[in-house]
Amino acid sequence: MTAATPGFVKLLSITFVLAIAVYMLVPLIVVIASSLSTSQFLVFPPPGFSLRWYTEVFNSDAYLSAGWTSLKLALFTVAASVALGTPAAIALSRFRFPGRSFLSAIFLSPLLLPSLIFAIGLLIVFSRYGDGPSLTGLVIGHTVITLPYVIRTVSANLIDMDPHLDEAARIMGARWWQRYLLVILPQCRTGMAAGAFFAFNISFDDAVIALFMRAPNVETLPMRIYSTLEFSPDPSVAAVSTIMILLTIFMVLLLDRIFGLSKIA
């Protein structure tokens, strides 16, 4: 805070931030507390504390393989989404050409429809023109819904950057691949990282596309959570969620280490 900030504003800010912190974190604390429960079912407050649900999760082949499937799915999605989204974002934020805002809108359009409409459509396409749903189908579906986020974060990042660098490189006679590899892509780095973070989270948490693109031997973690809740709702799902929360904290800290969080937006 700058020195000119009045004292009462500082006090107000601190109160405000604390209130928001309570609002954002209390539901998560409830989940974490429930995961440590001795109870057979999801209930709050927990009657006693134990780690039995963590043991259960780590001993469950179903959870582990679902976690592995989700991880693979999220990584492929991140790769595809960043690979397709970054060039599009560069074009949309670095060049002026007719129809630019129309194309921006096109690239953001997957956000506008409930994803289940797209999910059923994708299922029809895969069944009619392919071999039915598969992990590949899920990767394609998730790439569609995460693409807008990557484009947005990379664009926001590029607006921040100095376009003269690229121009200088061009004037100095850099070949196109040299310009991209040495000038433009390094400038997109933080945007790509932020986009990848969003894409990873969205793919990892999606239960809508996964609901319709169900295939043999492809069970993602959210699907596993759903079916567990349906038939034997126990705190193991809270334990899985807690593990995911810890994973997020780790990822955010990692991003902070590498890129500095202040730049990610």
Partner 1 sequence: MKTRKLFAGTAGLLAALAFGHTASAQETLVINSFGGSYEETHRALVITQFEEMYNVKVEVVTAYSADALAQLRAQRDNPQFDVVHFSGGLEHGAASEGLLEPIKPEELTNYENMYPFAVAGIDKGIGPMYSTAVIGLLYNTEQVETPPTSWMDVTKPAYADRVLLTDAASNTYGLLGFLMMNQVAGGSLDDIEPGLEFVKDILPNSMLVSKSPEIQQNFAQGNAWIAPYAQDYAYTLTKAGLPVKFVQPEEGGVLAPITVNLVAGAKNRDLALKFIDFSIRAEASKGWAEALRYTPTNRLAELSDDVAAEVVYGEEAVAKLVSFDANAIATNRAAWNEAWTRAIAQ
Partner 2 sequence: MASASRSTNREPAFLLTPGLFFLIIAFFFPTFLLLAQSVLTVGPDAGELTLEHYQKAFADSFYAGVAFRTLRLALLITLICLLIGFPLAIIISRASRIVRSLLILMIVLPLMTSVVIRTFGWLVILGQGGVLSWVLQALGLVDGTVSLMRTEAGIVIAMVQVLLPFMVLTTLGNLNQMSPSLEEAARVMGAGFFRSIWHVTLPMSAPGLASGAVLVFALSISSFITPSLVGGVRLPVIASSIYQQMTGSFDWGFGAALSVLLLGATLVLMVPYLIATGRLGGRS
Q: Measured between alpha carbons, how far is 226 from 241 in angstroms, rounded to an integer?
A: 12
Among positive and negative, which fits the CA dihedral 167, 173, 179, 182? negative
Choose the contact partner of 56 out of partner 2, partner 1, none; CB within 5 to 8 A by kind.
none
On the question of a cis peptide bond just before residue 45, with omega within 30 degrees of 0, the verdict is yes
* Subset of 67-106 contacting partner 2 (CB under 8 A): 83-85, 87-88, 90-97, 101, 103-106
Report, in Å, the least distance between residue 212 CB and partner 1.
7
- 6 sits near partner 2 (criterion: CB under 8 A): yes
Report, in Å, the least distance between residue 45 CB and partner 1.
11
* Subset of 43-62 contacting partner 2 (CB under 8 A): 44
Report the candidate in 41, 44, 33 with the shortest Cα–Cα distance to residue 233: 41
CB nearer partner 1, residue 183 or residue 240: 240
Report, in Å, the least distance between residue 126 CB and partner 1.
8
- Residue 127 neighbours by CB distance under 10 Å: 12
CB nearer partner 1, residue 169 or residue 239: 239
Rounded (10°) angle between helices 236-259 and 52-59: 80
Secondary structure class of 215 (helix, strand, coil) = strand
* Subset of 201-240 contacting partner 1 (CB under 8 A): 211-212, 214-217, 219, 223, 226-234
CB nearer partner 1, residue 238 or residue 264: 238
Tokens 């990873």 sit at which residue? 200
Angle CA 203–247–116, to nearest 5: 20
Residues that bind partner 1 (CB under 8 A): 39-44, 76, 120, 123-137, 139-140, 211-212, 214-217, 219, 223, 226-234
